[in-house]
């Protein structure tokens, strides 16, 4: 993947209803060129799905990332057991029998419950649990009109305005207005699930830094400046000067080059590299609660 593919993914992750034309204008190419790249990433499995979910504020939750080390005896049932926990949204396997588990939790009791759940799985040796700094959005009350439109967006978050208007009996102008309200209101996220392993070699760098010398914003800026094409996303610990940064690279030689370059920085106190393997996305409480809200309002939707 090149810089334009990267920008397409980041734009879709931020707002999955973004148009090809909007992306094209930012990247100074044609909308048709963006569409071709989009279709290629879709067919390769890099872009897996599009969905709408509640913001963290709407479910009074925060996000955590856990590094779960196993004894090597885990199987498909082990992964499904973790994925079926309603707090869990993502499981990524990494080298060395380590799983990267993202989850939503509510308060210290929720964090404790999550840690206990993971530690008590028979195949688990250790669990390292990190609450993350993450944009929480806003807590809002949906209007009846917003719920009516959300009913169709849950079914297909990229459903054309004209199709929603046709199926809901609303005008296209009203549908567009409501979608913009939902986007700007902060109560829902329009995003994607994606499989970075389909686009190249995925690594996750565990980076500790000296917070007397540098802060996390400066670390993020450093990564963006030094590795603009390969650096994708940070997961920043809320409790330690620590972040986990995702990179997509072409080969192992580049992995070594990136690691060596960062280790030269005296402000970085330690660095560990994890190689990523295929990951899975699961509906967590942000998705589950949205569907419950629609059901409570008598608005049912068709599962895809």
pLDDT digits (tens, 9 = 90+) for 30-39: 999 999 999 9
- 3-state SS assignment for residue 282: coil
Here the tokens at position 38 are: 């989009």
Closest C-alpha to 188, from 52, 61, 299, 60: 52
Closest C-alpha to 2, from 161, 229, 219, 204: 229
pLDDT digits over 77-111, tens only?
999 999 999 999 999 888 888 999 999 999 999 99
pTM of this prediction exceeds 0.85? yes
For the chain, give the percent of residues with pLDDT over 70. 98
Strand 62-70, strand 47-54: pairing = unpaired
Q: Which residue has the higher pLDDT, 57 or 233?
A: 57
- pLDDT at residue 271 is higher than 60: yes
Q: Which domains, from first to last, does the chain contain?
A: 3-44 (1.10.10.10), 198-278 (3.30.70.920)
User: At 304, is the pLDDT very low, low, confident or very high (cuts 50, 70, 90)?
Assistant: very low
- pLDDT at residue 220 is higher than 70: yes
Burial of 194-221, coded b for 16+ CB within 10 Å and e otherwise, reads bbbbbbbbbbbbbbebeeeebebeebee
Residue 54 has what pLDDT?
97
Strands annotated E in the chain: 47-54, 62-70, 88-94, 98-105, 124-133, 188-194, 201-209, 231-237, 242-249, 268-281
* Distance from C-alpha of 273 to C-alpha of 122, rounded to nearest angstrom: 26
Least confident of 43-57, 76-90, 112-126, 197-211: 197-211
């Amino acid at each position: 993947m090149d810089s334009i593919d990267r920008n397409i993914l980041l734009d879709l992750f931020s707002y999955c209803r973004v148009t090809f034309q909007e992306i094209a204008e930012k990247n100074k190419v044609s909308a048709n060129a963006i569409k071709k790249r989009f279709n290629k990433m879709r067919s390769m499995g890099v872009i897996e799905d599009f969905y709408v979910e509640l913001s963290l504020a709407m479910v009074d939750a925060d996000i955590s990332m856990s590094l779960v080390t196993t004894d090597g005896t885990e199987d498909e049932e082990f992964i499904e057991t973790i994925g079926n926990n309603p707090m869990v949204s993502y499981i990524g396997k990494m080298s060395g029998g380590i799983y990267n588990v993202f989850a939503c939790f509510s308060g210290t009791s929720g964090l404790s419950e999550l840690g206990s759940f993971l530690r008590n799985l028979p195949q688990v040796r250790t669990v390292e649990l990190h609450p993350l700094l993450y944009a929480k959005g806003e807590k809002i009350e949906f209007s009846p009109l917003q719920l009516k439109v959300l009913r169709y967006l849950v079914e297909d978050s990229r459903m054309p305005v004209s199709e929603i208007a046709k199926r809901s009996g609303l005008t296209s102008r009203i549908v567009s207005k409501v979608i913009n309200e939902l986007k700007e209101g902060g109560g829902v996220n329009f995003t994607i699930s994606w499989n970075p392993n389909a686009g190249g070699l995925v690594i996750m760098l565990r980076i500790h830094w000296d917070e007397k010398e540098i802060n996390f914003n400066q670390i993020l800026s450093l990564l963006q400046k030094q590795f603009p094409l390969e650096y994708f996303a940070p997961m920043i610990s809320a409790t330690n000067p620590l972040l986990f940064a995702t990179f997509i690279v072409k080969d192992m030689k580049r992995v070594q080059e990136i690691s060596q370059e960062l280790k030269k920085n005296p402000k970085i106190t330690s660095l560990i590299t994890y190689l990523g393997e295929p990951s899975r996305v699961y509906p967590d409480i942000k998705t589950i609660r949205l569907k419950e809200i629609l059901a409570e309002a008598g608005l049912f939707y068709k599962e895809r």
